Each structure stands twice: as C-alpha cells, then as structure tokens.
Structure 1
C-alpha cells in the first residue's frame, strides 16, 4: 500500500475525501492526517510518505509554504496533489514551479481523483523500478571491483584490515542453492540483506557489506566503531545475516591490523570448508577451529574394507567408514586430505575386485572434488561400495567352469556367425568387460584369438574333407573376406590354405 498524507484544515472536508473512494482497491491508504502545513512537516520528519494531498488555504502554514518547505528539505520528495477552489487557481499555478504533480478543483470529482492516483501510482512504480536497477547496478559494480582486487591481491585497492577507530570483522559462508539461481537474483538478495541490516543497526555505529566471489562463497565485512560492547553486537549482526540468507554456518574473525584482507580471506576460506564438511552450524569464531592436519597416517582403510567385503560383513562397512570420519574430525584432518585418501582407497578396492566396468575414473574423481558435507560424502562413498558389492554378487553367479563350458559350447555352435564378446555377454546377461577378463583367465587367451582358432580348425577340416573352394570355406567358417581368411590361416597354421590342402594330399599319396 502506498501511504498518503492528507493535509486539510476543515475536518469535515478531510472525512469526506477519505470516504470519497475505495483507496485500498487502488493500492493506497490515508496513513496520516494533518490540519495545516506545520503539522504535516512534523509528520514528514519521522514517517515515510508516498503521496501528499494538500489544501492551499490553511492556518499556521498554508499549502504553498508546505510545498516550498518539502521541496527544499527533502531530496526525494513525494508526489504532491493540490486541492484548490476556483479563487485559489493562481496559487495553484504558482505551486507548479515547486514540482506539484497535479491539482484538483473543489468539489473533488471522484473519477478525476481516481485517474490522478492511477497516474501517480504508475509514476511511483516506474521510479522505484528504475532506482532499484541503478542501485543493483552499483552494487554489482562494487562487488566485482572488490572480488577482482581480492583475487589478484591488489593491496592498494583493499587497504589494511583495520582503520583508526574502526574494528573490522570478516565473515565467510555459503548458500548451496545460490549455485542454481540467476546471478542478478543472488546480488539482489545480498543487496537487500545489506540494506535491511544497515537500516536496523544504523544507530549502533556499525555497517556491513556483502560480497559474492567466483565460487559462490559469501563474504561479509562488518565495520564497527571501537568500544568494549561491540563484540556481542557483531555476533548479533552476523546472526541477523545468517537468518536473512538462510545460512547454516558463518565463520568469523576480527581483522588484525597487519593482516591483509586477501590473506585473511584465504585463511577463513580453508577454515570454512572445514566447518562446512563437518556440518558445524551457527556463528563460529575462526580461533575455535585453530589449525588442522594436512597429513593422514596410512591406516590401510582399503585393506580393511576389502576384508569386510570378502567376508560379506557388509553391515560393518558403514560402521568402519563412519568411525574413520569421526577420528578424522577429532584429529582435525583437512577435508581435502580425507577426500584424497578415500578416493585412493576406493580406487584400490575397484582394482582389487576388478570392478572397472562400473565406473569411469573421471566421474569418481568429480565426486571427490565437490564440496559435500560429511554426511552426504559418506552416503556417496557407501553408494559406490554398494555398487561394487552388488557387482561381486552378480559376477559370482557366473564364476566356475560350468558357466565357461556354456560359453565354449555357444562359440562352437555359432563360430561362423558375426559374434563378439559383447554380443555373447548380452546373450548371457553379463557385463562384457567382466566376461572378457574371465574368458582370458579361463582359456589363457583373449576371446578374439580363441574365435580365430575355432574357425581355423573348422577350415582345416573342410579343406581336407571337401572339394569346396577356398573362398567358400572362408565364408562357411565366418570370414566374409577371403584374403583376410588366408592371412589369418597362414598366421595360425604356418602356410596358406591351398598349400595346406596340397601338402596333406601329397603326404596321403
């Protein structure tokens, strides 16, 4: 609702104007009433008014003087509508030079008043939208300049961490949902948060500035005039920011005079990643975190997990990993170190159980590069291990000589067709990479070599026992190209198909 200040000395005239139209339906309300210009000025000193409707002739201070004072004292003065009688028309014209928007003649026409208000509302909305755009543009410009200086470590731009008579507090946080929102939407939220907090604490000697870096980290700088009572107030302000932006954690540190802003930024960012990973919440002083370990003693986690998987003690795997994470948290091990260690352990388990077909290495590495919290990271690790376990269970169905005999029989019955390890795997509902490895282990040779041997043995039989031409035999055993058949035959037998046939015939004579 747009708030109207109605200035009219005649009480009955005021009440008549109030009842003349449905103000609420138009988006307005008569929020304040005054009997003369002096009363109106007192209201304007303490209250925000969107529109002034004023009579001209009034005691103490008339409408013309009121309009003049408003024009002089208020930079962003509200739109003004004059109510005048015919004999006051010259006064009304004089008021135009002070930026009066419109005037209405008494008695006020209902439709004319509505049209005037609609016109003013359109103008107010347009001006607010334009002002908001300019405000947002200025905020984005300021943010970009600061972040650029921060990233390239421009000390001249950033200045020292503290100034005479002012304490600076630096806070870092992150809002995961911001990664999926439009940049301008994020900037608008930060700008509104900044305005809201600064307005609320304007009389407390503090000021905040909000920033967004290239990785969606939120940075907050609070300037506070030094005194002994400021620390509690600063924490209160950071809590206000946390609630407005729905943040789980903000890590905060008072800036030390010798410390450059970019150095403090890097330190706090590492500590924030630590508290975010371990899912701490609230306003956390950086000093509470202290330093954390960048080294993890090799606890042979992969060997322990492999043993549990082989012993089918699947319920103990989660317990083992959870305990590992708890120990890391107690010892304050860096999340990056933990992720690297777990990645290595997972790759060792995949290699041990030959479960390469389940994952692409790059996709696994991507999972471990993301800034997940500990619980989500643990879930993702368990998800990967569960896939490996399921793969082992599935593959166990195909282990043993009985299954490979089925494969062998299938090849001997279909060797002359266009078969591949992939097509056979589809026939038997098994992963082709796993089948290829199992085939090589069972027959001591890869599938393609085995298939050539079967085809060549059958070709030798046809060469000896039939009068079929060589190109016919090639096609019969599965080679569409006679030259390629001859090449492979000589490779495996040591002589061409024709020489093989002739040599055997000579020996028989």
Structure 2
C-alpha cells in the first residue's frame, strides 16, 4: 500500500518530495526525532505502534507538528474522533481516490506556504527590531545593553565591513540577507560553540558580533567564520578585533570604523585584524601639491598629473596617513587650483562633492580628482576658444530660431560642444542676465506679437511660444508685462479703437 501511494501521483509536480518511509509508527517516530517533515501520511492498523498512537505522540512531543493525513479501511466513529482530537488534517478511506488525495495535499500545501510566509515575516520583524535596538544603544552609548549578554567563559569579537551595493537596495531586502547569513553561519558552526549576530547601521556599515566559548575555539576558526560571512555577502574586507568586558563597545566600534575606512580607502582585502593597521598619522606635511599641479596644467603635461597624484597617495599609504586628512588636503589643493585659474564655476559641479564622501576607495577618489582637474583643463581651453562676441551671436540666433522648443543651457551647450557651466557664465556676462530670464523674454515678446496680430486662443499661443502649461505662461506673462495676456490684448485693442 505504501509503495502504491508513492507511485500513485506525481509528487514533484505537486511541489512535494517523498523524504522518508517507515513500516510502523515507532519507526516513523524515531525518524521524526531527528528529521523535520511537513506532512505525514499514515495508516491506522500497523504493528509495534499504530497510527492513533503515532499521531498522539506527534501531537504531544512536537511544537511545530507536521500536517497529518490518515488513510484507513475503517470508517468508524472512534477513529474519526481520535483524528479530530489530535488535529489530523484529513481522514481518507481505502481504496485511495487519487483526486481526493491530490486535493487534500494541495490544501495542505497552501496552508503550509502561508504559515511559512507568516513565520518569515514575523522572524524578519523580530530581526529588524533587534537590529534597531542594538544600533540605538550603540549611538546612545548604552554599554550596559550592549554587553548584557556577556558571560564568563565567552569570548567576543567585533567585525566591521561595508557592502556598497546595499546603498541601492531596499532596506527589507538587506535585513533579509543579513538574517539568512546569520542563520546559515550559525547552523554550520553550531557544533563549534560559535554564534554570530549581524547588524546594519544607518551609515550602511555592517557589524558582526561573534560569541564563542573561551579556550575552545582557535583564532583560525574565528577567521574561518568571518571568511564565511565575507563570501556570503560578497565583502571585500572585514576588520576584526576581540573585545573584553572592561572595554566600551561603542568606543571600539568607532575605533574599528576609522580603521575600516583606512582599509577600504587603500583597497585591502580579506579578514584583517585591527592590530595589523596600528595607529594613523593625523598630520600631513605641506608638500605644495597644488603648486606642482598648477605648473603641470600650465605646461599641459596631463599624463604627469596622474603620475604625481598617484605618487602622493603611495607616500600617504606608506606613512599611514588617515584618509580624512588626505581628503582635506586634496580638497584644499583643488580649491587653490580653481582660484588660480579663476574657474569658480567648478564649485557648482557635483564632482566637487566627491571630495567630501566618506568610505570611498582610493581608485574612485583618484578618478574623481582627475575628473575635476580635467574639467579645469577643459575650462581653460574653452575660455580661449569661445571668448568672442561672434560665438555669442550664434547662440542668440539659435535661441531665436528654437525658443518655442524645450531648450536648456545644457542642451545648447551640447549643440555647440561646450561646457554648460562655462556657457551659463558667458551668457550671463554677455546678455547681463541669466539664460532662463532671457528665454522667457524672447518667448513673451513673441507671445505679445501673436496676441496682437492673430485671433489665436491664449492656450494656443502659450503652446506656440514654448509653454506646455497655459497657467504658467499667464503667470510669467504678467510677471514680465505687468498684466495678464487677455488684459494686454484687450487694452491694446481698446487703444486702437
């Protein structure tokens, strides 16, 4: 009968897998003590232990008991009553009806999946709540909360890392990844007396707390645990330090963050003990980098600029200069270069903000600096290339021919192959007003002409001169003319009359 049920239906298609078989209730109970299953299908009349005794034991012993289907040739009230008492999901009579069994399994599957989803949501909620409480305690420096779980004989390790991709992912997705990482590693190392907890702070930093029995776990195994975390979450590096009960964990957290910033800036990889980093140099002797870069820019030795900056970073790495000090020094150098070449519009670009970004890698930082210097070089070239009034006449003619289209200073700059920031500054200097104001004036003058010379409706005129929103057109018209389009048309008509 058991073999027949296994062959009766397509279990894979239904989303089930036959995990175990047992010849009687005792064999089944022995399996269930060590293995977790979702569904039990059992007969009632069996040797050693019958089905009623089996479902009774399962009901008493297992908190999250599997779904149970009874298959029996006995259509008796006492059996049905016992089945109800112990929460049996269905009671099917022999001979087995294939469709009836499939319907029962599909109902059970729907319920199991729903329960698993609810359990996962509850589990995730509890994880987020725990994470928030820990990070809040860390920020408020509530050390009592942070070390409350510490016991004699337990060694603790704190690891810190960062996953740049997490900045672009949904928060709950990240929490789920961390929760699954935690469960996976704890399951793998449960027999080694190791427990990890993963946290995520408001600055996208990842924190890992590892507890282990003192004297039992070797340092090599701790490194192996952190390597496991690193592989699962695809991290470049984790910086690790053991902490003892007399330490303040929030102080250790800040120390490790500074060291991790150093590790990340210089693109080190692997599991790094904090003691390997040592202390930083928080002072940088003025090497007049800005003066040397200015000379190279003037001499148009562009390749040497990259070499010079790379060499500067190598020296800082050798001398263990803090990344924050390097960024401050470079920022000052860039500002001095901008001031020297009077390229003040560079201060308005997003690129300059790169200097202030924390936790950035050396290669990205270097690319950003080179990018800013290239903009300065382009600015110098454009300043000599587009400084004549004949060029601005071309711009003026282009606007008068295209004022009714969706044009911007950026689109015009692309049309004439010029830096938009530089064009904006030249435009304001030449026309004594910003581009947007000039464009409004051109459009309003053409609107006035259409109001006087045609019978077009106001919304049609608005669209004709480049305004998609008639209300906005009316607002700008009144701002520049002093009266609404309709009043302007009526007042001129009245004067003519």
Question: Which residue in the other structure is 2:189 paired with?
Answer: 201
Q: Deviations over 1:159-200 (max 9, x none)?
A: 379531000000001111111111111111111111111111
Q: Deviations over 1:483-507 (max 9, x none)?
A: xxxxxxxxxxxxxxxxxxxxxxxxx
1:67-466 equivalences under 5 Å are: 67-87=55-75, 90-159=78-147, 163-227=151-215, 229-360=217-348, 364-397=352-385, 431=422
- 80-89 or 58-67, larger mean C-alpha shift: 80-89
Instruction: Indicate how the Cα distance of structure 1 residues 113 and 393 shifts in structure 2: closer, same or farther if over 3 A, else same.
Output: same
Aligned equivalents of 1:363, 1:409: Cα separation in 2: 31
Task: Structure 1: state its 5+ residue gaps.
Answer: 1-12, 411-421, 440-445, 449-509
Q: TM-score, normalised by structure 2?
A: 0.78
Instruction: Indicate how the Cα distance of structure 1 residues 285 and 251 shifts in structure 2: closer, same or farther if over 3 A, else same.
Output: same
The secondary structure found in structure 2 opposite 1:185 is helix
Aligned equivalents of 1:214, 1:304: Cα separation in 2: 40
CA contact (8 A) 1:85 1:106 kept: yes
Offset of 1:79 from its aligned partner?
Answer: 0.4
Aligned equivalents of 1:391, 1:49: Cα separation in 2: 70
The secondary structure found in structure 2 opposite 1:203 is helix
- 236-245 or 356-365, larger mean C-alpha shift: 356-365
Aligned equivalents of 1:433, 1:93: Cα separation in 2: 86
CA contact (8 A) 1:167 1:224 kept: yes
Structure showing greater Rg: 1
Instruction: Indicate how the Cα distance of structure 1 residues 206 and 432 shifts in structure 2: closer, same or farther if over 3 A, else same.
Output: closer
CA contact (8 A) 1:278 1:374 kept: yes
Instruction: Indicate how the Cα distance of structure 1 residues 317 and 116 shifts in structure 2: closer, same or farther if over 3 A, else same.
Output: same
How much is the aligned-residue C-alpha RMSD, in angstroms? 2.7
Aligned equivalents of 1:199, 1:408: Cα separation in 2: 71
Q: Deviations over 1:403-431 (max 9, x none)?
A: 58x79999xxxxxxxxxxx9xx9999794
Q: Deviations over 1:127-164 (max 9, x none)?
A: 10111111111111111111100000012211379531
CA contact (8 A) 1:166 1:226 kept: yes
Question: Which residue in the other structure is 1:30 paired with?
Answer: 18
Aligned equivalents of 1:433, 1:58: Cα separation in 2: 90
The secondary structure found in structure 2 opposite 1:354 is coil
Aligned equivalents of 2:111, 2:283: Cα separation in 1: 63
Q: How many residues align?
A: 413
Aligned equivalents of 1:436, 1:145: Cα separation in 2: 55
The secondary structure found in structure 1 opposite 2:21 is strand
Aligned equivalents of 2:96, 2:213: Cα separation in 1: 54
CA contact (8 A) 2:147 2:245 kept: no
